[in-house]
Amino acid sequence: MTADSRPRLRAVCLAGPSDSGKTTLVEELVPRLAEDDRVATVKSIHHDIEIDTPGADTHRHRTTGAETVVGITPELTFDITTRGKRDPPDELGSDPFGLGSGTDREPSEIREMRALASTLERLERRGYDIVLVEGFSASPLPTILVGDRSPADVGGPVIGRHDDGLETLAEAIRSVDPLEFERPAD
């Protein structure tokens, strides 16, 4: 399948209070979706954590000023980028959430949405078909409600609830409209 003919990225948010079962639902959905699609996940984390071992070469690369460090092991490849929710990239290749103008969102929420949009755009360029986003409940992405989350508490249209059944949810995810990212001219 060529880059032009492959389906574009579909992203769905899973929103609910802490300990409501969002991660468990992600664990159940990923294998079903991965049968036919390349699946990635994004997790909103509300506090800073150190994901690299202090003193390791990759940590040393990052702390000396590299904006992105990529580590490649025999089994995994990972990248650490210093541009998180507080300092997302200024320029997106496109604006799939309509953040460019006329928004009444708080500056911190705009930064968070830019960080998510930038990550989704990067995953789309890498050829993923579906991204499950845990958290980021204010995003305009189609949303599956988990626990007692109300539709009024999320930014996107509700496409399902955690108790709808895995096959129903998988079909709802596969049927959402793909995100629109601008493609560079050839």
Angle CA 63–67–72, to nearest 5: 85
CA distance 65 to 111: 22
Question: How much of the chain exceeds pLDDT 90, in percent?
Answer: 42
Question: How much of the chain exceeds pLDDT 70, in percent?
Answer: 74
Domains and CATH numbers, the chain: 1-44+88-186 (3.40.50), 48-84 (no CATH)
Q: Inform me whether the pLDDT recorded for 25 exceeds 90.
A: yes
What pTM, to 2 d.p., does this model score?
A: 0.78
**57-109 confidence digits (pLDDT tens):** 777 777 777 777 777 777 777 776 766 555 655 555 555 565 555 556 566 67
pLDDT score, position 173? 98
CA distance 70 to 68: 7
Q: Calculate the CA dihedral of residues 84, 19, 31, 11 and round it to 10 degrees.
A: -40
Strand-pair partners of 78: 71
pLDDT score, position 1? 43
CA distance 83 to 98: 20
CB 134 within 8 A of CB 119: no
Between residues 155 and 48, the one the model is more confident about: 155
